[in-house]
Amino acid sequence: MKFGVVRFPGSCDEMDALLACRRYADAELLWHGDQDLKGVDVVVIPGGFSYGDYLRVGAIARFSPVMGAVQEHARAGGLVFGICNGFQVLCEAGLLPGALLPNNGLRFLCRQVEVEVVNADTPFTHGSDAGQVLSVPVKHMSGRYYAPEEMLGEMDAHGQIILRYRAGFNPNGSVADIAGVANEAKNVMGLMPHPEHAVDPLTGSTDGGLLFESLARHADALAAA
């Protein structure tokens, strides 16, 4: 199976994401100006400041040519994984519910946090157990997840809340401590923490690798079926 990592003007984590993917499968970069996803199985929208994050985070990137192809890929059931700015882009594109607002404290945050896997029955998390704690870094200015109460109730009922910050680790004021969510079909997921920065023992935690490994195995199993 193959991962494709989209590079936008202003992306800054696409190389780490690419290297994280390559630990578990083939991976290549995709260009924001192309509509061709090069036959990849999983599209990764990486962190950074796509198109300068002008207007609102992720607001402009969602109109780039590649996002049309990503929308089609997602509609056909293809896997899409958005990290940090990628999460913001997917929310703006309407592929994920909710929105990301500026951090409560208004400061850029860069720190290690603990998140708990809420739903381990998804292509992104099946390599973990429900309740398992992952240590991963966050680094963002606009990571306060928000969804209206009614939407949150529906998301909860459909198992769309995938990751929550553990008590005391919610860094940004996210509603219900939400760190990562999926669409109802569970083929699109976004999260604010950076699993791609937690794949090598050198940087302290390898917990982020679980998500990439889960995706790689899921896509392999689909291909074999």
Active site residue 126: no
Per-residue binding string, another protein, 167-196, x by CB under 8 A, is ------x-----------------------
Q: How far is the CB of 42 from another protein (least distance, A)?
A: 27
Could you tell me if residue 98 is left (phi over 0), alpha (psi between -120 and 50 degrees) or otherwise beta? left
Q: How far is the CB of 6 from another protein (least distance, A)?
A: 20
SS3 state at 219: helix
3-state SS track over 161-175: EEEEECCCCCCCCCH
**What strand order describes the sheet that includes 2-7?**
26-31, 2-7, 42-45, 79-83, 188-191, 178-182, 161-165, 109-117, 133-140
Q: Is 59 one of the binding residues for another protein (CB under 8 A)?
A: yes
Q: Is 56 one of the binding residues for another protein (CB under 8 A)?
A: yes
Q: Is 10 one of the binding residues for another protein (CB under 8 A)?
A: no
Asked whether the beta carbons of 134 and 114 are under 8 A apart, the reply is yes
Active site residue 84: yes
Which region, judged by CB under 8 A, interacts with another protein, from 38-46, 103-111, 119-127, 180-188?
A: 103-111
Number of Cβ within a 10 Å radius of residue 68: 13
Active site residue 194: yes
Task: Name the residue nearer to another protein (CB basis): 106 or 223.
Answer: 106
User: Which residue numbers are catalytic?
Assistant: 84, 194, 196
Binding positions for another protein, rule: CB under 8 A: 55-56, 59, 63, 92, 98-99, 101-106, 144, 146-148, 173
